[in-house]
Amino acid sequence: MPHALPQLLLHPDVDHYCVIGNPVSHSLSPQIHRAFAEQTGEAIDYQAVLVETDAFADSVRALRDQGLRGANITLPFKHEAWALCDRRSARAERAGAVNTLSCSDAGLFDGDNTDGIGLLRDLRDNQGVELADRDILIAGAGGAVAGIIDSLFDARPASITIANRSLDKARQIAARFADRGRIQALAYAELGERAFPLIINGTSLSLQGQLPALPERVLAPGGFVYDMMYQHEPTCFMRWAEQHGAAASADGLGMLVEQAAEAFALWRGVRPDSRPVIAQLRG
């Protein structure tokens, strides 16, 4: 029996946007974009829309026909969003995933991926982390990792190493971005005695209270650790970092807000100030 397609709660005299996922009730995106709208004076409405896992394309088309102007896409639909798009930005094309949809006046879907620039801005502008000429280790090789590689290379690191349980997935990502600079794929056990000044957790293991299988001495003394997941308390990966001599660590809340700010700018042509929104959510 086919699923009922989602319905927008329509409000007059505003443009409608949403976040689409499954699950989606936990998403902070409505709070973030409403804060952006209030800050910039943009007349928008932003909702969270639950979509059944086997009805993504039909659901998005139905939402567009109801007047949807754009959507943020979260798990598990970023690859399906990429396939749905009529046109994609260069960064979305390379990532193989779309997290920002725009609906054109002609009814076409334009896709972009703002995850990488969101991470880069949080690391560089909010955390004060220098990436140039540094060796970066990324744990994990899912779609979230593919979405950040291009932007990390824009910061001119010395090298990027992707470590993952499934070496094939890591190798596929490394091959896709080999034209950007020094990048390699390794199994966790192959990291050996190498130590990195910057480690990014691109897995979702923190949400289950688990850690990637990194070697004991993989973090260089005084290094920085970034967990792309976020929770109300420091994640287990951040606690691991503290126990292993990190100078500082951060979770992915800043990345979430920064990627949302990029999406808002794409939709509305005005860039909101992300810092007060991050501070509001932290509070």
Under the banding of pLDDT at 50, 70 and 90, the label for residue 155 is very high
Q: Which two tokens mark 267?
A: 């939709």
185 assigned to a ligand binding site: no
Residues 136 and 242 in one domain: yes
DSSP secondary structure string for all residues of 140-202: --SHHHHTTHHHHHHT--SEEEEE-SSHHHHHHHHHHTGGGS-EEEE-GGGGTT--EEEEEE-
Instruction: Classify residue 77: in a domain, yes or no.
Output: yes
CA-to-CA distance for 210 and 51, rounded, in angstroms?
28
In the predicted structure, residue 201 carries a pLDDT above the cut 80: yes
* Of 222, 235, 252, residue with least CA distance to 120: 252
Same domain, 103 and 132: no
How many domains, in total, are found in the chain? Answer: 2
Question: 180 with 86, same domain?
Answer: no
Look at residue 8 and tell me if it is in a domain. no
Residue 180 lies in a domain: yes
Query: What's the predicted TM-score (pTM) here?
Result: 0.94
Quick check: is 53 in a domain?
yes
Q: What is the pLDDT of residues 38-67, one digit of tens each?
A: 999 999 999 999 999 999 999 999 999 999
252 is in an annotated binding site: yes
243 and 261 part of one domain: no
Examine residue 1 and state whether it is found in any structural domain, yes or no. no
Domain of 278? 15-113+255-282
Residue 176: which CATH number? 3.40.50.720
Answer yes or no: is 221 within a domain: yes
Residues known to be catalytic: 78
3-state secondary structure of 238: helix
- Same domain for 182 and 271, yes or no, is no
- In the chain, pLDDT over 70 holds for what percent of residues? 99
According to the annotation, is 259 in a ligand binding site?
Answer: yes
Residue 154 among known ligand-binding residues? no
Whether the pLDDT of residue 256 is over 80: the answer is yes
In a shared domain, residues 216 and 154:
yes
Same domain, 125 and 232: yes
Q: Do the domain assignments include residue 211? A: yes
